[in-house]
Amino acid sequence: MAVPFEVVRAPAEMRARAEDQRRDGRRVCVVPTMGYLHDGHVSLLRAGRSRADLLVMSLFVNPTQFAAGEDLSRYPRDEAGDLDKARAAGVDLVFAPDAAAMYPDGYQTTVEVRGLAAPLEGRSRPGHFSGVASVVAKLFHLTMPHVAIFGQKDYQQLLIVRRMVRDLDFGVEIVGMPIAREPDGLAMSSRNAYLSPEERAQAVCLSRGLRAAESLHAGGERGAGALVAAARAPIEASPLARIDHVELRDAETLAEIDRASAPAVLAMAVHFGRTRLIDNALLG
């Protein structure tokens, strides 16, 4: 039975709808988003559509994953446009609560995945992943999915969600989808809207650095120093770029490694003015 496109605001109503769908034997998929959808989000929605009877998209700019001084107040928003894109991608139900509904007065519970959350983004953005894990846990309880779709651009987030699901026995299949890129290689991101034309032109240095490291790795290089240096070179040559980190880590544990002798992730974060971009590549 087809489900008409609908927007649900209240957490209790979302939970009731999910319970009804599961009771009827329907497979539920959720795609968590913070809105301002681009083609990368749409690719996740299409992947979810092919995996479930009921496709739920959450639309919630989660305040608890933004630290003081970060871009919560200016994070781009376009709910009307997001709903149009969601409907066109085959979404059945959009869960779009407000912050007061998700974090009512007296709320004081958080979820923390300690080891995986410590390096990389966790070091640069303290508390970020606690906010992410907590809101994803809430979304899973409210939408009751069999499967959830995440993009690999937020690679560390993907690992953290998988670990949380495993450790807390959520019973949700976590599917990671490849990074969606612009024609020039820049990873699609809602924050790309912040970039000035000159910053946007130089921002391709991230993907160029990753491609350089991938090429070196494909040629047999395994040393972390050489691979990181190859990735940094195009970024350091871009006058507007300011590196936060470029690091090679074990692809499963995010432990520091000297050699990419096992699957590794080359992860980076780079500032352009007030805009912070992330990207990564899997090696091996």
Catalytic residues: 41
In DSSP terms, 211 is beta-bridged to: none
Answer whether 44's CB lies under 8 Å from 151's CB: yes
DSSP letter at 2 equals: -
| Three-state secondary-structure class, residue 270 | strand
Per-residue b or e along 32-51, where b marks 16 or more CB atoms closer than 10 Å to that residue's CB: bbbbbbeebbbbbbbbbbeb
User: Could you give the C-alpha distances from 271 to 156, 242, 246, in angstroms and in order?
Assistant: 18, 5, 12
Phi, psi of 175 (to 5 degrees): -110, 125
Q: Are strands 264-272 and 275-283 parallel, antiparallel or unpaired?
A: antiparallel
Distance CA 43, CA 40 (A): 5
Distance CA 42, CA 44 (A): 5
Render 238-259 in DSSP notation, one character per residue: -TTEEEEEEEEEETTT--B-SB
Closest CA to 163 of 118, 120, 125: 118
Phi, psi of 6 (to 5 degrees): -150, 150
